[in-house]
Homo-oligomer: A and B are copies of this chain.
Amino acid sequence: MEITKPTLLLNKEIALRNIENMVRKANDLHLNFRPHFKTHQSAEIGEWFRDAGVKAITVSSFTMANYFADCGWDDITIAFSVNIPEIPQMNELAGRINLNLLIENKEGLEALQEKITWHAGVFIKIDTGYNRTGIESTRTPLIDQLLENIQKSPLLHFKGFLSHTGHTYLANSTHDIFSRHFDALLKMKSLKARYISEWPELMVSLGDTPSCTLCDNFDGVDEIRPGNFVFYDLMQFKLGVCKLSDIAVRMVCPVIAVHSSRNEVVIYGGAIHFAKDSVTNIDGKQLFGRIIIREGENKILLDERNYLHALTQEHGILRITPRDLNLFKPGHLIEILPVHSCLTANLMREYMTNEGETIKMLPLV
């Protein structure tokens, strides 16, 4: 199929290799592998995981849980603290699959106790330093109280402690990723030590893409839930987590205009295609993507002095060195490595594989 507008290309081989590597790592470390499907949001890509032996998954919303349950996944954790207004709708899902929910406060637990009519697993969400949400690991009086209440609910089954060490994304070095991961490990281990005698089945669930890719010490952890690794992206590359050759997605964009007076190229591909996450480039400016030139069958990655440096609704602006400006002509197709593959995929809603196959995602509405 001919590409005529912004199209998200997915290199299936790279994605399969990324999946395989993470499956192998989880096996080697004897960790339960429950990958996060919010990155790809696709039934078909889910099957690639199933083929690799994956049986349990993580999602970030009730909507996504329903979609993947309809695709035959019967063991799903919604890794987002329980959204009280949605609880009544969750009963049907809890009745047909093993559903795990997160709580982090009394209100969420009380609402669950009041409205749940089917069995559900419950993780307590721990904040290991990301400071987005969850209970700090030292707040054991609150945890004690929640556990006491969970015990009173015949339909709620305490599964363990879950955390997202999202501050590894904000690390300044790979060393920093290791130390943040290690700090999270210690916090989760201390919780496990405190509660394991009373709850011998309790699990510790951890694991973002940076730590799951780089770190080998998962002492005390039972389960990992990385998601982004299936595609990786420039943010992960910039963090030192992946190589450029590990990035499985690229956006194909047509060139619209070349402005040699200011060393800029305009492409069809904007904020509604890429989303607006950026990393800092070598020149201190925001970088929204790296550029790959197609010359016949050859693909040439340009250096960082050439980059996607601004986005409006449909327009992308490339900053290009005078030397490389002649590589761009209106009507040509170029490729862009995205900064944050999760948000880019979420906007595009479908992929085209390197074999020309279209892969659909969960419909938005």
Contact = CB atoms under 8 A, between A and B. Distances in A.
B330 A84 contact: yes
A39 to B, nearest CB: 9
A184 B247 CA distance: 43
Nearest to A86: B4
Contact of A330 (B108, B259, B275, B331): B108
A131 B259 CA distance: 9
B317 A257 contact: no
B343 A85 contact: no
Contacts of A43: none
Contacts of A254: 83-86
Interface stretch (A143-151, A290-298, A307-315): A307-315
Contacts of A365: 348-350, 360
A273 B153 CA distance: 34
Interface string A123-162: 0000000011110000000000000000000000000000
18 contacts: A4-B83, A4-B85, A5-B61, A5-B62, A5-B63, A5-B83, A5-B85, A60-B313, A61-B314, A84-B330, A105-B258, A108-B256, A108-B330, A111-B330, A131-B262, A347-B347, A349-B365, A360-B365
Interface of A: 2-5, 38, 60-63, 80-86, 89, 104-105, 107-108, 111, 131-134, 166, 254, 256-259, 262, 266, 268, 271-272, 275-277, 312-315, 317, 329-331, 333, 342-343, 346-350, 360, 364-365
